[in-house]
Amino acid sequence: MSIDTNHFKKKLEEELQTLEAELKSVGRRNPDNKNDWEATPSDLRPDSADESELADSIEEYEGNTAILKQLEIRYNDVKGALKRIGDCTYGICEISGKEIEVERLEANPAARTSIENKEKEAELREQGI
């Protein structure tokens, strides 16, 4: 069985655009590290805000930080999948070396592992692999 990488490349590129728009809605690229995103602070000035406005601003920033972290993980996963397409390693399980099931790639085009090894995918990310 052969994987249609053009099909998955299109899906991944579309998802990447969506993720970039979502990331920009809650954050910005870190000026010191263009591969990193950071939540954008509120425009509210602490010296001119009352306590409830300030608390709301802090709560919004913390919420944006949590959302941004999840979006950034997915963004990096998608970018990694696009890189694997370019390297001709897309669709190969990084644990077993076997071909990843098409059904898994349809459900998650950025998948790095087969269904059998999907629980180990988070470990790869945590190890920075």
Supply the DSSP string of 37-104, one letter for each residue: EEEPPPS--TTTS-HHHHHHHHHHHHHHHHHHHHHHHHHHHHHHHHHHHHTT-TTB-TTT-SBPPHHH
Q: Which among 65, 74, 68 is positioned nearest to 125, based on CA atoms?
A: 74
Residue 109 has pLDDT above 80, yes or no: yes
Phi, psi of 43 (to 5 degrees): -80, -5
pLDDT at 75: 94
Q: How many domains does the chain have?
A: 1
Higher pLDDT, 3 or 5: 5
Please state the rounded mean pLDDT for residues 104-108. Answer: 96
Query: Dihedral (C-alpha) 47, 50, 52, 55: value to the nearest 10 degrees?
Result: 0
Q: Which among 78, 75, 62 is positioned nearest to 29, based on CA atoms?
A: 75
Asked if 81 and 109 touch (Cβ cutoff 8 Å), the reply is yes
Q: Which of 41-50, 76-85, 96-105 has the lowest mean pLDDT?
A: 41-50
Quote the pTM value.
0.81
pLDDT-derived band at 45 (thresholds 50, 70, 90) equals: low
Q: What is the pLDDT of residues 14-42, one digit of tens each?
A: 999 999 999 998 888 888 887 788 887 66
Domain that holds residue 61: 5-126
CATH number at residue 14: 1.20.120.910
Return the structure tokens found at 21: 């728009």
